[in-house]
Chains A and B, each alone.
Chain A
Amino acid sequence: MSPRSVTHILTGTRIRERRLALSRRQADIARAAGISPAYLNLIEHNRRPVGEDLIARLAEVLEVPADELASGREEARMAALREAAARAPSRGGQAPELEQAPELLARFPGWAGALIATSRRADALERQLVNLSDRMTQDPYLLTTLHEVLSAVTSLRSTASILVEEGELPGEWRERFHANLAEDSLRLSTTAQALVAYLDSFETEGGIFTPQEEVEAWMAADMPPIEEAADLASDAARALARDHLTRTETERAALPDTALAGAAEESDPLRIATRLRVPLDLVLRRLAALRPPGFEEAGLLVCDGSGALILRRPAPGFPLPRPGDACPLWPLYQALAAPQTAISAQVRTPQGREFDTISYATRSQPEGIGGPVLTQAQMLILPAKGAADGSGPVIGIGASCRICPRSGCPARREPSILSPRHDARGL
């Protein structure tokens, strides 16, 4: 059955149902609408198409809004019903009677709506479950914490076995193993508490996924059409994605792909901006979006004046925390304090990966001279091309304090779950 014929069936059936609900005769309605009773009969039995003008006249006579009878709304609801039927478990039970779906929609709109809503809810929950599963296997905080737990347990098991099974031990060794047991017990206890607190936070947040995370997942999937994007489960995420597309198109018009790709032979974004006579912040964002040769592994962080990250495009190997968290030593935040000045800095992660970064902040007053001053900073992240040139120190950064093993960090705002001994390993 074609979508068009489905539309006719739906519209005709709804017209008939509405007329019967008003206890009106076909002849009366037909006369009032300016058509013959025979033609209305054909329409009601879904044997004739109904144009927009006629729908409007019939709606007026039947005292309902035109969209109650219109095809688009019904078509969408019909598609949703078919989707619900397709998602219904098929094992053992009777299959949904698809051919009667139009009647269901027309005669019992409330039940049909409940079925559609329930199906969509199940779909959203399923997506959330899949995302949660992905997250459990990719979340850097969980992976780091679980590794700590595993290391402590491995050490405890081996050490305890030695003390119990190895018979007499030299005094020095026995004391050392007892000290190791105490140390690993403390580490296990601390790490397990942190892990439980982290998992508890999932519930208190009312869900793990923020709209920003949904948009990041969508961007990572090469931004499929918003209506078809499984990663965009919430209205807020879809709105953010639309804003992003609009902004991207505007920026692409201001700095077309061909112009940027041609100029990207120059590796210095500031020189690219000068050569193309465009703002540096636009060049940084466009390089991260287009990723032309020489910038294939570029990542981008954008924050507002409060430091909140409003765009995160990860670079391979650069540790990103959960939304709402960040490392205060990222050069991105230095740029906030020095707008209109390009800041180039090499950074090193706790895992030893080095990156070149270029950060740049701009200020604007979109509401005029009396309006608030808004600051936005962006940091382009590129794999380090070589050793630091000696013009500045390599900045040791992390993802967030909780999973950062660096000791003596002047910017630390909370203890790391990683053990003090781990801290002191010269990272």
Chain B
Amino acid sequence: MKPDILMIEDEPNIAEAVRFILTRDGWRLALHDNGLGGIEMIRELRPRLLILDLMLPNRSGGEILSELRADSDPALAGTLVLMLTARGQTGEAMGQADAVMAKPFANDELRAQVRRMLG
């Protein structure tokens, strides 16, 4: 079944905690742990929401987001994106995200943000 959310996060314990709380809330979640192959995964799964870590091995979240926004498929390019960053990080890519959340975050804060974005 198609997931609601795709999370690209290289820290497995963070990904596991997020998967637990969002799955408990009833969302279907898929995980990917690397910058490489991220775009292909988005194209294949077509999630409603992409939770994207900024600092990823091999390819940054910023690069992935820029490529996503430039995609020729408007539906894919318009995928909702929640960017996870360190507080104070800035960059062009941050402006392309629909929402930005600083690490460390409270679980309830993440839940509320996802609810706001997915309705």
Contact residues in B for A180 (Cβ distance below 8 Å)? 13, 16-17
0 or 1 for each of B104-115: is its CB under 8 Å from A? (1 = yes):
111100000000
Q: Are B58 and A352 in contact (CB under 8 A)?
A: yes
Chain A interface residue count: which class?
20 to 34
Task: Say yes or no for A267: interface residue by CB 8 A criterion.
Answer: no
Q: Are B104 and A157 in contact (CB under 8 A)?
A: yes
Interface of A is mostly: helix
A389 to B34, CA, bound (A): 25
Q: Are A162 and B103 in contact (CB under 8 A)?
A: no
A146 to B16, CA, bound (A): 21
A427 to B86, CA, bound (A): 23
B101 to chain A, nearest CB (A): 10
Chain B residues bordering chain A, tally (CB within 8 A): 25
Q: Of residues 17 to 72 in B, which have CB atoms within 8 Å of A's CB atoms?
A: 17-18, 20-21, 24, 33-36, 55, 57-59
Q: Given the known A-B contacts A154-B14, A155-B11, are A147 and B55 also in contact in the complex, defined by CB atoms under 8 Å?
A: yes
A154 to B18, CA, bound (A): 11
Task: Say yes or no for A86: interface residue by CB 8 A criterion.
Answer: no
A425 to B35, CA, bound (A): 12
Q: Are A150 and B107 in contact (CB under 8 A)?
A: no
Task: Say yes or no for A249: interface residue by CB 8 A criterion.
Answer: no
B27 to chain A, nearest CB (A): 15
Q: Given the known A-B contacts A161-B106, A161-B107, A162-B107, are A155 and B59 also in contact in the complex, defined by CB atoms under 8 Å?
A: no
Task: Say yes or no for B12: interface residue by CB 8 A criterion.
Answer: yes
Q: Are B24 and A166 in contact (CB under 8 A)?
A: yes
Q: Of residues 155 to 173 in A, which have CB atoms within 8 Å of B's CB atoms?
A: 155-159, 161-162, 165-166, 173
Q: Which residue of B lies closest to A146 (CB)?
A: B86
Task: Say yes or no for B4: interface residue by CB 8 A criterion.
Answer: no
B66 to chain A, nearest CB (A): 17
Q: Are B17 and A427 in contact (CB under 8 A)?
A: no
| A and B contact pairs by CB, cutoff 8 A, 30 listed | A150-B103, A151-B11, A151-B14, A151-B103, A153-B103, A153-B104, A154-B103, A154-B105, A155-B11, A155-B13, A155-B14, A155-B17, A156-B104, A157-B105, A157-B106, A158-B17, A158-B21, A158-B104, A162-B20, A165-B107, A166-B21, A166-B24, A180-B13, A351-B57, A351-B58, A352-B35, A352-B58, A352-B59, A421-B12, A425-B57
> Nearest 7 CB-CB pairs, A to B?
A352-B58, A158-B17, A154-B104, A155-B13, A154-B103, A180-B13, A157-B104
Interface residues, chain A, CB within 8 Å of chain B?
146-147, 150-151, 153-159, 161-162, 165-166, 173, 176-177, 180, 183-184, 350-352, 421, 425, 427
